Every structure is written in structure tokens, then in C-alpha cells.
Amino acid sequence: MSYVDEVLEKVKQKNPDQPEFLQAVTEVLNSLRPVVEANEEKYRKLAILERITEPDRQIMFRVPWVDDNGQVQVNRGFRVQFNNAIGPYKGGIRLHPSVNLSIIKFLGFEQVFKNSLTTLPIGGGKGGSDFDPKGKSDNEIMHFCQSFMTELYKYIGADTDVPAGDIGTGAREIGFMFGQYKRIRDLYEGVLTGKGLSYGGSLARTEATGYGLLYLTQELMKCHGESMEGKTVAISGSGNVATYAAQKAQQMGAKVVTLSDSTGWIYDPEGIDIELLKEVKEVKRARLSEYAAARSSAEYHDKKNADDHGVWNIKVDIALPCATQNELNLDDAKALVANGVKAVCEGANMPTTIEATEYLQQNGVWFVGGKAANAGGVATSALEMSQNSERLSWSFEEVDQKLKGIMVGIYHAIDDAAKKYGMEGNYVAGANIAGFEKVVNAMIAQGVV
Ligand code: NDP
């Protein structure tokens, strides 16, 4: 049995109840086969694949807090510190009722390779809780965040582990968590990224993931002799990544015609009104149906069931899934291909199922996975860490220019890695290989730890 198959078997036996984690490991290890085969004896002896698929540590804890009615609520908190071979652990905090150990482990595992791809010195980790911020008052959010940090602070630090935002964790939540960390540790340090501008945040961090996704997509199009100008784009989600992806796509001359949230989706053939979107989502924190109610060109569709991903049935040139994992399945991929889609780039983490990814690749769609395409967020978080260490703040333009350079660099790194191993155009394999090689070289140099 090949080394990859042996390790896949072991990982399945050890984690039978973690489907998302197994999905991520299967996808990554399968695409690493050419590199592993070229180094099989050495990697097997050093147990490289066993070590890279086992987190350094996983922390789970109780998060008790009191709601506005005086009722005590209890959530479960997580931090998975996956690999710090090339820098302190870095990865977001997800607050969503679906959060469990499998999801946090899959995200932490992917983060290792993504962070490596940015070329910046950051290891991989992820955290979160099954807490649902929807419908909670500011007071309840603060109580939850303070309780969460009262345990988490023991394991993090500016040179140890630097969490950031993710689904359900925006500037408000990061602010409450930062305040509690500072209070408990009596230490003003860059322990979290995504902070407010008045207390150590970086300009352009809010926009970074969405903007970065578009910088990479633009480079991909350019290298295939195309431009963004005049292209029609489908985006899913309507949170941080989706909003700024839509904004940058339109600045580049494309027309974004869809968005979604967990209850429904919109089709706006005139192109999304970004200001209205921000008003509905960022100011009112309302549902997308309110966008459609305020704009005559937009149609709102209720989501019929968990498998209703209506946005992928619209005819577009480019599709950018920016909501959550496994939101683009094989049927969606077939609909996109039938409608002539040219490129699919993932703003979210693992939004495309393995079958859908394969179908898109087999049908000549230029497909770039989240590890490369959404790395702009964490790259800019690392730039926030640099600014905190220097105790300086860079201008929006300076951060944005660096972000653009990093995303263009990532596109070429994954393209080159795919070509080097005879898989030209397979950007998924290219991203995994480019990210993996750097981490493995650092692990080998640091001995058996
Ligand atoms: P937000 O919480 O700001 O937005 C998430 C969006 O996705 C919302 O529109 C939400 O709808 C929708 N969504 C979430 N869960 C589901 C679900 N189970 N079914 C359908 N829709 C859902 O998160 P972000 O925009 O920050 O993150 C989106 C994705 O991008 C995630 O996969 C995240 O891990 C990834 N990512 C984010 C980065 C960042 O910098 N923010 C960096 C790199 C990756 P609703 O409001 O109804 O829940």
C-alpha cells in the first residue's frame, strides 16, 4: 500500500466521527501524491504525514454566560493548534451553531498550508464555539466573548497563537475578546487580529479576504488572456468575504448578480448595490430579503432546504462561493458548467465538495481552492501583526498594495508548483504542494518535535 493510502487509512481509523476533517485530509493527501512518492522513504521514516495530520494540541472548554433574562447558558469552546513549524499558530474563531471538533480540525489543517502559501511566518490553528450570535443583544455577545476569553487566554499570545475573525466573529466580537485578554493578562499586545483601528487594527483587514480573492481571480483571468471587465459573477454568502469580493469585482468592471445567506438568495440582474448591501448586512444586521424589498431589480428566493444552492443555477462567467463549507455540490457544478462558467475561485473554506471540484476540473473550468484564493485575509492579519510589533500603522494603500502583491505571488506559486509536478492547471494540487513543501522542510530541520 502506498504511504499516502496507509496514512489515510490510519487517519480514518483514528477520527471516524469527523467527516469534514477526513474530507480535508483526503483532498490534501491525494493531491500530494507526486511529492510524497518522490520522497517516500524519507517521509515514511520521519512519519511526516502522520505528524502533519495530527494537531499539536486541541483544547475544548466550557463557556458559561448569563443571558439578558438572567438564565445561565453553556456553550463549548475550541482551539486547535495544528502546526507551528513556520511561525506562531494563526487562524480565526468561528461562532456558529454547527461548530464541532471536526469542523475546527478541518479548518486548522487547511490553515497550515494556506498560511505557508502567503510566504509570511505564520503557523496554522483554528478555534470557535457552537454559540450562535444571531439575535443576541450586544450585552449577551459581550458576556459570551468575555467568558470565552477567560479560558482561551491561557493558550494564546502574540508570539504563541494569534486568533482572528471568521464566521460570526467580526470587529465587535474581536473587540470584546481583546478587552478581556488585556484585562486578565495586563498586557497590551497583538494577540488578536481584525482589531478596531483605534486599538491596533490594520487598515484594509476588513476588505482583505474579498479583495484578495479578486486580485487572485484577476491574475488567473489575465494569465488565460481574459479580463474581469464585463464579466458576470455569481457570489454566495453576504458576510464579510462576500461583501468585499462583490465590491472589488464591481470596481474591476464585472457585474455581480447573486448573493445568499442561510435563509435565501437574491438575483439582481442589474448588479448588486454594494451600499444597500452594507446597510442591510453591516448596519441593520438584517436578512437579505430586506435587500430585495428595497431594490426593485432584485428577486428574493427562499431557501427550500439545505441543498438549495440557487445561486449556482444562474448563467455567469465566474463563480465565487463565499459562504461556508460544502455549499457547492456536484449538481451545482453541473449547472455551472452547462451555463459556460470559466472560473470558480473559493472565497470560503472548502465550499466545493470533492466530487464537484473534480467535475469542474474535468470540464476545463479554472478552479482555485480557498487555501490559495482566500489567503488574503490571513496574509493581512500577518501584516497587522507586523504593524503591532513595530507599533506603527501603515496606510490603506500600503497594505492593499502588499495584499495585491501577495495574491499575485500566490497565483504564480501554485501555477508553478502544479507545472513542476506535471499537473499544469491543477491549482488545487499546486496550492497543496507549494504550501506543504515549506512546512515539511521546516519540520525536518527542527527534528522530531
Ligand atoms: P460571515 O459570518 O461574515 O458571513 C458568512 C456568510 O455565509 C453569511 O452570509 C451567512 O449567512 C452564510 N452562511 C454561514 N453559514 C451558512 C450555512 N451553514 N448555510 C448557508 N449560509 C451560511 O463570515 P465570513 O464572510 O467571514 O466567512 C465566510 C467564509 O469565508 C467562511 O468559510 C470562512 O471560513 C471563510 N474565510 C473568511 C475569512 C475572513 O477574513 N473573514 C478569511 C478566509 C476564509 P447567515 O448570515 O444567514 O448565517
Whether 200 is in the pocket of ligand 1, judged by its Cβ within 6 Å, is no
What is the Cβ-side half-sphere exposure of residue 161, based on CA atoms within 13 angstroms? Answer: 26
In a domain, 152, yes or no: yes
DSSP letter string, 370-433: HHHHTTHHHHHHHHHHHHHHHT----HHHHHHHHHHHHHHHHHHHHHHHHHTT-TT-HHHHHHH
306 & 158 share domain: no
297 and 242 in one domain?
Answer: yes
Nearest residue (by CA) to ligand 1, atom 11, is: 261
Q: For residue 2, what are the domain limits?
A: 1-54
Give the residue-averaged pLDDT of 129-153.
97
Which residue has the least CA distance to atom 27 on ligand 1? 167
- How close is the Cα of 11 to the center of ligand 1, in Å? 28
Chain-centre distance for alpha carbon 66: 31
Which residues, in sequence order, are CB contacts of 359 under 8 Å at separation 6+? 330, 333, 334, 337
Q: How far apart are CA 64 and CA 182, in angstroms?
A: 20
pLDDT the model gives residue 307: 74
Which residue of 262, 277, 291, 312 sits with most ligand 1 atoms within 8 Å of its CB, as the best mutation to test the pocket?
A: 262
Residue in this structure with the C-alpha cell 504511504, named with its chain if needed: 3
Give yes or no: residues 60 and 149 share one domain. Answer: yes
Question: What CATH number is attached to the domain comprising 102?
Answer: 3.40.50.10860
For 82, the 3-state DSSP assignment is: strand
User: With 0-12 CB in 10 A as exposed, 13-18 as middle and 19+ as buried, what is 230?
Assistant: exposed
Q: Outline where DSSP puts E strands in 98-197.
A: 123-129, 161-164
Angle, CA 372 vertex, CA 368 and CA 376 arms, to 5°: 125
* Mean pLDDT for all residues in the chain: 97
Cα(30) to centroid of ligand 1, in Å? Answer: 27
Within-domain flag for 340: yes
Element (H, E) at 114: helix 101-117
What does the pLDDT look like over 93-120, one tens digit per residue? 999 999 999 999 999 999 999 999 999 9
Give the pLDDT confidence of 330-371 residue by residue, as tens digits: 999 999 999 999 999 999 999 999 999 999 999 999 999 999
**Closest residue CA from atom 2 of ligand 1:** 167
pLDDT value for 305: 76
pLDDT at 76: 98
| Protein residue whose Cα sits closest to atom 15 of ligand 1 | 324
Q: How far apart are CA 354 and CA 338, in angstroms?
A: 19
What pLDDT sits at residue 94? 98
Question: What is the Å distance from ligand 1's center to 245 Cα?
Answer: 12
Query: How close are the terminal C-alpha atoms of the chain, in Å?
Result: 27
User: Where among 373, 399, 427 does a domain terminate?
Assistant: 373
- Is the confidence at residue 401, as pLDDT, over 90? yes
Quick check: is 413 in a domain? no
Residues 6+ apart with CB under 8 A from 201: 171, 193, 194, 195, 384
Ligand 1 centre to CA of 239 (Å) is 6
The answer to whether residue 2 is domain-embedded is yes
Q: Is the domain of 131 the same as that of 236?
A: no
The reply to whether 233 and 369 lie within a common domain is yes
Q: Is position 387 within any domain?
A: no
The reply to whether 253 and 222 lie within a common domain is: yes
| pLDDT-derived band at 155, boundaries 50, 70, 90 | very high
Q: Is the pLDDT of residue 239 over 90?
A: yes
Among residues 320, 349, 373, which one ends one of the domains?
Answer: 373
418 domain-assigned: no
Mutate which of 134, 172, 241, 260 to test ligand 1's pocket (most atoms within 8 Å of Cβ)?
241
Whole-number pLDDT of residue 306? 73
Please report the pLDDT score of residue 343 as a whole number. 98
38 Cβ contact list (under 8 Å, min separation 6)? none
Residue from 103, 131, 136, 166 to probe ligand 1 pocket by mutation (most atoms less than 8 Å from CB): 166
Q: Examine the domain organization and report whether 117 and 167 are in the same domain.
A: yes
22-33 pLDDT, tens digit per residue, is 999 999 999 999
Per-residue pLDDT reduced to its tens digit, 30-85: 999 999 999 999 999 999 999 999 999 999 999 999 999 999 999 999 999 999 99
Question: Does any ligand 1 atom lie closer than 6 A to the CB of residue 56?
Answer: no
Q: What are phi and psi of 328, to 5 degrees?
A: -130, 105
Ligand 1 centre from 69 Cα, in Å? 29
CA of 332 to the centre of ligand 1 (A): 19
Residue 382 has pLDDT above 90, yes or no: yes
pLDDT of 309 above 80: no
In the chain, the percentage of residues whose pLDDT exceeds 70 is 100
User: Is the C-beta atom of 428 inside 6 A of ligand 1?
Assistant: no
- Using 50, 70 and 90 to split pLDDT, how confident is the model at 19? very high
Ligand 1 touching residue 207 (CB < 6 A): no
| Ligand 1 atom 4, closest CA | 239
Ligand 1 centre to CA of 370 (Å) is 13
Tally the domains of the chain. 3
Spatial separation of the C-alpha atoms in residues 227 and 22, rounded to whole Å? 37
Give catalytic residue positions.
126
Among residues 373, 393, 413, the one where a domain terminates is 373
Judgement on whether residues 30 and 69 belong to the same structural domain of the protein: no
Looking at the structure, do residues 138 and 100 belong to the same domain, yes or no?
yes
Judge if 350 and 367 occupy the same domain: yes
- Are 291 and 348 within one domain? yes
* Same domain assignment for residues 242 and 175: no
271 within a domain of the structure (yes/no): yes
380 within 8 A of 202, measured Cβ to Cβ: yes
Kindly state if the Cβ of 20 falls inside 6 Å of ligand 1.
no
The CATH number of whichever domain residue 239 belongs to comes to: 3.40.50.720
Tell me whether residue 379 is in a domain.
Answer: no
